[in-house]
Structure 1
Amino acid sequence: MVTSAALVGVAVVTLSVGLADLDQPPIEVPAGIPPGLGAPVPVIDINAPGRTASLLRDWAGPLATPIGVSVTALEAYGYAARVMEQTRPECGIGWTTLAGIASVESKHGTHGGARVGDSGQVDPPIRGIPLDGSPGVAEIPDTDDGTSDGDATHDRAMGPLQFIPETWKRWGVDANGDGVADPDNIDDAALTAARYLCARGGDLTTADGWQKALMAYNLSGEYLMEVRDRAAAYSVGIRR
């Protein structure tokens, strides 16, 4: 379990720089929880038709390469944060938190050679290991007859944000306007994750709320800190 001292620490981690950058001051990544919110997401019509996340292209484009995230994935995280800001302003979730989780879970939808298409669809679909109770693995018998995760014996985590079928059934939402809540679509997955985290953590602008949300997503202090580190790096415009 992460100690409270670690959660509110004010130390900073300085990333190493290449020889070409020796004449530039290093970028400092703030420590502590919650991680920074990063570049503000522009106001958009969250109810516009079609893949509304694409309205953030001008915002996501300049940010994507420095932090090592595809434009489409970054649009999805920004859109999810913008939706929550307008529908649950008390939550305060940042796109950086969603990006940190997606980085750890699936390398932003690219795990195992997968790619994120222009529509947000991840192909081939990403599936976790069978949750069969083997050492270090939870045991979750099949809950969906294998219709969602392709495994009729045990459940598997699905998609770029790695939802198990039962959780997706309860929380899954359509975010790209195609009428289907699909765990393999990064728009749908990012907004679903944001809704889940806000429900579990409440106010994610506080250390306590952010920690509650992340521990609900994955009950691991090590996982929490890895997400925090990546989100904090994204918040100052660098990759982790």
Structure 2
Amino acid sequence: MVTLVLAGCGIGPDLPPIPEGIPPGPGAPLPVIDLDGPGRTALQLRGWAGEQSSTGIESVALEAYGYAAAVMGRSKPGCGIGWTTIAGIASVESKHGTHGRSDLDADGTVRPPIIGIALDGAPGVALIRDTDGGKLDGDPVYDRAVGPLQFIPETWKRWGVDANGDGVADPQNIDDAALTAARYLCASGGDLTSERGWQRALLTYNQSNSYLLTVRDRAAAYSVGRRV
């Protein structure tokens, strides 16, 4: 997980200022959709995602973030997670599934797969020995974070969920990864509309204050339609 620094935020006479404070704003409200529709129900947000083009996020990714927030709004209404928070994390973790040579297919699957460095205990790197026989990350010795939201296999095994209706919980699919991240964050932080809850959720996801602040900055930018 690499923390990047925003450059030039808040500069520009025609751009809305990026709000301060924690948690970041929830962003453009989501339209009502049929959360139980067949197939990739996130597609119902295509029009809404198109209206958020100023964020610079591909529609297929925005649909995934919006759908995840909508699902949690029904299943965990006390959480209050905004799509902007999921987008902020995905921006830091993988540039919304476009890290390196990767890109998102129309169905939200990252190709080629995003696989992080070996968590082998090297300086500055956690030590996490293999937990999945290399099934998700191709490494039978050490675990590696996988997918656009960078889950380690052990965490994915516990929290991974199928969000696009294909019957498979795939960490390399942005629909599945976004909803899994939202579930994990809500379970970790409780009320994400509170400063304490949001901070607790983010520090559970990544125990770094600089990471938390970078995600906050990016999510806050998205909340007012800014790209980062």
TM range (shorter): over 0.9
Deviations 1:131-190 (A, max 9, x none): 000111100000111011100110000000000000000000000000000000000000
Q: SS of 2:210's equivalent? A: helix
Aligned twin of 2:224: 236
1:205 and 2:196 are equivalent in the alignment: no
1:113 and 2:108 are equivalent in the alignment: no
Equivalent in 11, 29, 46 of residue 16 of structure 1: 11
Aligned twin of 2:118: 130
**In the TM superposition, what are the counterparts of 1:218-229 in structure 2 within 5 Å?**
218-229=206-217
**TM-score, normalisation: structure 2:** 0.95
Q: CA deviation at 1:14?
A: 6.0
1:37 and 2:26 are equivalent in the alignment: yes
Query: How well do the aligned residues superpose, as a CA RMSD in angstroms?
Result: 1.0
Instruction: Flag structure 2 segments of 5+ consecutive residues without an equivalent.
Output: 1-7
Aligned twin of 1:3: none
Deviations 1:176-216 (A, max 9, x none): 00000000000000000000000000000000000000000
- Structure 2: how far apart are the matches of 1:43 and 1:118? 22
Q: CA deviation at 1:62?
A: 1.8
- Structure 2: how far apart are the matches of 1:119 and 1:160? 14
Q: CA deviation at 1:40?
A: 0.3
- Give, as a single letter, the amino acid of the residue that structure 1 aligns with 2:211: Y
Q: CA deviation at 1:119?
A: 0.7
**In the TM superposition, what are the counterparts of 1:25-174 in structure 2 within 5 Å?**
26-64=15-53, 66-174=54-162
Q: SS of 1:118's equivalent? A: coil
Q: CA deviation at 1:104?
A: 0.1
Runs of 4+ deviating beyond 4 Å: none
Deviations 1:24-69 (A, max 9, x none): 4x411111100000000111111100000000001001213x1111
Q: CA deviation at 1:15?
A: 1.6
- Give, as a single letter, the amino acid of the residue that structure 2 aligns with 1:196: Y
- Give, as a single letter, the amino acid of the residue that structure 1 aligns with 2:110: V
Task: Say which structure, 1 or 2, has more relative contact order (CA 8 Å, 6+ apart).
Answer: 2
Q: SS of 2:67's equivalent? A: helix
Q: 1:47 to 1:28 in 2, by over 3 A?
A: same
1:102, 1:108 within 8 Å by CA — same for their partners in 2? Answer: yes
- Structure 1: how far apart are the matches of 2:142 and 2:30? 39
Instruction: Flag structure 1 segments of 5+ consecutive residues without an equivalent.
Output: 1-12
- Structure 2: how far apart are the matches of 1:61 and 1:86? 24
Equivalent in 166, 169, 177 of residue 189 of structure 1: 177
